[in-house]
Amino acid sequence: MDWGQLAGRLFRDRFGHAPAVVVRAPGRVNLIGDHTDYTGGSVLPMAIDRQVVVAAGAREDGQLVAYSEAFGQTLSAGLGDSVAANSSSWMRYVVGVATSLKRRIPNLPGATMWIGGDLPHGAGLASSAALEVATARAMLGLANEEVPDIELAEICQRAEHEFAGAPCGIMDQLACVMSRKGRALFLDCTSLETKHVAIPWENAGVGKVADYGEDNGHALVVVDTGVKHEIASGEYARRRSECADALRLIREKNARVRTWRDLDEKEIDQVVAGMPVELARRVRHVVTENARVVDAVHALERRDLATFGQLMSRSHESLRDDFEVSCLEVDMIVDCLSGMRGVLGARMTGGGFGGCVIALVERASLARVEKQVKRSFSGSMRDFFEVRSARGAEVVARD
Ligand code: GLA
């Protein structure tokens, strides 16, 4: 798909002139490492070949006028406008990012924007981060300015905290900004150091970037449950504060422990002794999940997909039982997939309480697995599709 051309044409049809810049920003799946970013842990997201696309032109009046193809709606606002005044939620991200960015780049102009793409929104594939990053990159394009990758991700994360009221971690924004094709992004959320890890099922050989694109017989699939539970945002914030409470309790009793990094799997039982049961479970998830991410990176480096698949499944069990962020619909799809021949592993991905399941599937079994899942969940699930890795956000056309 030539997004530059398509978005350029749709922008022109709507606003009567050509855009100055067109940007694409990918969604992501998280291969493993959920609910660890905001505790300074490790995560392993992979940007996917579905994206938010923003075409933009500068405005002299300092206003933001944006049309969303997904919502069929044009909204306008001033930079820094109170977002509560905006009834629609997608505009919060646009206004939030533009306002946060203007603090850093004072000569940022207003903008007319067309927003489209093929990333399902609200499905747990980081559509908000993609919208934030696409907006930010488009506005930077209008101002002819650059901001370093990590800072850009942080500006977008801050906008989400301040303007959308979602206390998210940094994983989604960084994955959207920094990913490379053929690679997953191993991210240390304390130091913000990253490592691009070759994805074996997209690379014929390890080490040579030119090799990617070769398929070694496996596919990563996404099953969109179509479910979004209302409790999601409140529960996310609650998990964050439960983690903070748990760490505080551990530190009171163990002078040696400063951060989650100081905890080892072997000492979980000892440090959670006497703690409320729920908090103890949260600790178990965070500590074991961080270890699984490191093991998963090693498994990818060895091209050991059987172990990688098992780690995915163990991660799901931990999110379901210890962190309690899954839900019935997601668990049923994961169970169904896990029991099938040709499926190496399956798990929820992202924040949870609905959203998407990912599974690593032998290519030879893909058609059968798809048919069986669709038959078992006909009417209840929204979509089943293969995803491939993608580059981070980029300008795809410029006037
Ligand atoms: C959401 C947040 C991320 C991360 C995941 C769970 O996607 O935006 O920061 O916390 O949930 O891993």
357 CA → ligand 1 middle, Å: 14
Best of 93, 168, 260, 325 for a ligand 1 pocket test (most atoms within 8 Å of beta carbon): 168
User: Hey, is 33 helix, strand or coil?
Assistant: coil
User: How far is 72 from 55, CA to CA, in rounded Å?
Assistant: 16
113 CA → ligand 1 middle, Å: 27
| Nearest alpha carbon, ligand 1 atom 1 | 351
Instruction: State if residue 353 touches ligand 1 by the CB under 6 angstroms criterion.
Output: no
State residue 211's pLDDT score: 45
User: Which strands make up the sheet holding 42-43, listed edge to edge?
Assistant: 42-43, 183-188, 194-198
Which two structure tokens, joined as six digits, stand for 88?
């629609």
User: Hey, is 83 helix, strand or coil?
Assistant: helix
Please give the full DSSP string across 145-161, using - where no structure is assigned. Answer: ----HHHHHHHHHHHHH
Give me the helices (H) in the chain, please: 3-15, 90-104, 127-143, 149-164, 171-178, 232-253, 268-272, 277-301, 305-321, 328-338, 366-376
pLDDT, mean over the chain? 93
State which ligand 1 atom lies nearest to the alpha carbon of 171. 9
| Nearest alpha carbon, ligand 1 atom 2 | 168
User: Around Cβ 154, how many Cβ atoms within 10 Å?
Assistant: 18
| Across 99-103, average pLDDT | 95
Confidence of residue 394 (pLDDT cuts 50, 70, 90): very high
Q: Of the listed 37, 172, 224, 322, which one is catalytic?
A: 172
State which ligand 1 atom lies nearest to the alpha carbon of 166. 8
Say yes or no to pLDDT of 21 above 70.
yes
168 CA → ligand 1 middle, Å: 6
| Nearest alpha carbon, ligand 1 atom 3 | 169
Which two structure tokens, joined as six digits, stand for 113?
């924007």
Tokens 């539970």: give the residue.
229
| Across 131-160, average pLDDT | 97
Q: Quick: pLDDT tens for 340-356.
A: 999 999 999 999 999 99
Best of 29, 36, 172, 235 for a ligand 1 pocket test (most atoms within 8 Å of beta carbon): 172
Instruction: State if residue 172 touches ligand 1 by the CB under 6 angstroms criterion.
Output: yes
Say yes or no to pLDDT of 88 above 90.
no
19 CA → ligand 1 middle, Å: 32
Question: What's the distance, CA 336 to chain centroid?
Answer: 24
CA distances from 385 to 31, 77, 358, 359, 398 (A): 16, 36, 10, 11, 31
State residue 210's pLDDT score: 44
Best of 32, 133, 157, 171 for a ligand 1 pocket test (most atoms within 8 Å of beta carbon): 171
Say yes or no to pLDDT of 287 above 80.
yes
- Inter-axis angle of helices 232-253 and 277-301, to 10 degrees? 100
Q: Quick: pLDDT tens for 301-330.
A: 999 999 999 999 999 999 999 999 999 999
Instruction: State if residue 350 touches ligand 1 by the CB under 6 angstroms criterion.
Output: yes
State residue 232's pLDDT score: 66
Say yes or no to pLDDT of 212 above 90.
no
Active site residue 172: yes
Instruction: State if residue 27 touches ligand 1 by the CB under 6 angstroms criterion.
Output: no
Q: Are 173 and 26 in contact (CB under 8 A)?
A: no
Q: Are 288 and 265 in contact (CB under 8 A)?
A: yes
